[in-house]
Amino acid sequence: MIIDRFLEKLRKSPPGTDHVLWIWAGVMAAALLLFYLVAGLPGRGTTLVFSQWWENELDDGVLKKLTADFEEQHPGIKIQVEKKSRQEIKAMLFGVDDEPKGKKKRKTADIFSIEGSWADETGHSLASPGIQKTPRQKNPLNASQDFLPPGPPGKTDNGFVPVISFINSLFYNIDLLREAGFDRPPKNQVEFLSYVQAITKPGEGIYGAVFALGDENSHAISRHILSWIWSAGILRGEDTFDFTSERVIESFRFLNQLKPYLFPDPFETDEQTKFEIFRQGKAGMMIGTVLDVKTLRAEMTHEFSITTIPGPASYVGKPVFPLSSWYVGINAESENREEAETFIAFLLEHASELASGAFAIPGGGDRDPDLVQNDPYYSKAYDMYDAGEMIREVYGTGRIRKLNSVIYEETKRMFEGRSPEDTAAAIQERWETIGTESF
């Protein structure tokens, strides 16, 4: 080391003026070394704060191992993993200051885990990433329709970087179906309607299905309204969406017929409540993300399984799955932009490890051979993915957010008594006033 070499020369130097100069030089060298240790050499000595909610949905130790591997490969960059709820992260992103007046505002994170439905709300709080990453050979986002957020995998214009993706599927309670006389899940919407009718027993607090429309966000509309339209093979037009087409109206007729057999107050039910209703055996079927398999398997006393979202009886095409994603983004005010991009690139390279820890399918696009062989849920979900067609959940611009609000409001009016035909016409009329630019 520099200090060791200096002390050796100091011992060998003769006393006198030169000796004093050597001592002075040593003091300066030590001060310079201390400065670098405190300030940090370029690209070293940096601590990145990663504020996330993923850890609660991953297997124990997955995120800790990934950050440890990153730190080993990138000496001098430390990752401080900060556990936050979705609500807390959203508040940080939108600049909500919850600190008392007069108290110094807390430092926010360098990197956030993000919900896709926040895409049009973050304003300038996220830096647009400049990550250069070769897309994975089989990246699931390439298989989806271009429904937003824009940009290729690993780089988006709105600051959102997709890391892993997962299909939304139909979950069904095998025990409730058997009690109602069914030995398999419904294959089409006609069967689905007969199933929910047979399962529903209001006196016992059991209903055919549960919808979560209480969020008034993109997940609510995408999963519980648009999923049924997409299941009819309707993805999108080149520039617009025709809500008055016969196939879309048919989907609204189907949804209207479901109303008496849905768990009460779907417009007051959020995603977590929906999950608990299904887990407790109070509803026979729900649309959820494949990530729910892991929790249900650990906590649900009833036997359950997953299947494709049923389309109309007349539809003979591939099953269509809404595709959700976990995103990350860099704080626009972060002083460690380069290091943050390095960490995100690392997460992309290790997406398969995250996917396995979260039970995410298609995850990072790589099938886990051990899980295919040993886990029937995983094997079935991947077979469904391979056989189907993907479409990303709709979010990403103010225009899409307005469209979701329109569908929410008009569907609620339909459940209150208006006809499906009038509902479709109202959505189309309001949609045309939002604008005609493409998705």
CATH of the domain at 407: 3.40.190.10
226 and 295 in one domain?
yes
Give the amino acid at 375. Answer: D
- Could you report the per-residue pLDDT of 295-352, keeping only the tens digit for each? 999 999 999 999 999 999 999 889 988 888 899 999 988 999 999 999 999 999 999 9
Counted domains in the chain: 3
The structure tokens 């649309």 sit at 287
Mean pLDDT of 283-289: 97
Task: Tell me whether residue 240 is in a domain.
Answer: yes
407 and 263 in one domain?
yes
314 and 331 in one domain?
no
pLDDT at position 39 = 43
Burial class (CB in 10 A: 0-12, 13-18, 19+), 166: buried
Q: Which two tokens stand for residue 5?
A: 């070499």
pLDDT at position 185 = 97
Lowest mean pLDDT across 61-75, 175-189, 286-300, 380-394: 380-394
pTM: 0.80
141 and 222 in one domain?
no
| DSSP code of residue 117 | G
User: CA-CA distances (angstroms) from residue 299 to 109, 273, 303, 320, 427?
Assistant: 33, 15, 11, 28, 40
- Quick one: what percent of the chain has pLDDT higher than 70? 74
Task: Tell me whether residue 381 is in a domain.
Answer: no
Task: Tell me whether residue 161 is in a domain.
Answer: yes
317 and 427 in one domain?
yes
Would you call 50 helix, strand, or coil by DSSP? strand
Give the C-alpha separation, 401 to 325, whole Å. 18
281 and 409 in one domain?
yes
Give the residue among 306, 275, 310 at the shortest CA–CA distance from 381: 306
249 and 152 in one domain?
no
What DSSP letter does each residue of 370-397 carry, written as one string? Answer: HHHHH-HHHHHHHHHHHHSEEEE-S-SS
pLDDT at position 235 = 64
Q: Which two tokens stand for residue 189?
A: 């919407």
Task: Tell me whether residue 117 is in a domain.
Answer: yes
Neighbours of 17 (CB within 10 A): 8
Give the residue among 253, 261, 209, 203 at the shortest CA–CA distance from 232: 253
**Dihedral pair phi/psi, residue 289, rounded to 5°:** -85, 155
Neighbours of 373 (CB within 10 A): 9
276 and 144 in one domain?
no
What DSSP letter does each residue of 75-109 carry, written as one string? Answer: TTEEEEEEE--HHHHHHHHTT---SPTTSPPPP--
Q: Which residue has the higher pLDDT, 423 or 150?
A: 423
Q: At what angle do helices 398-415 and 420-434 cross, to 10 degrees?
A: 160
Give the C-alpha separation, 363 to 205, whole Å. 36
User: Residue 30's domain spans which residues?
Assistant: 2-39
Give the C-alpha separation, 182 to 186, whole Å. 9
Q: Say whether pLDDT at 127 is over 60.
A: yes
How far from chain centre, in Å, is Cα 246? 32
142 and 74 in one domain?
yes
231 and 218 in one domain?
yes
pLDDT band of 10, cuts 50, 70, 90: very low
Q: Which two tokens stand for residue 220?
A: 């609510």
Instruction: Please answer whether residues 114 and 160 qualify as being in contact, where contact means their C-beta atoms are separated by less than 8 angstroms.
Output: yes
418 and 277 in one domain?
yes
Give the amino acid at 10. Answer: L
Across the chain, what does the average pLDDT equal?
81
329 and 317 in one domain?
no
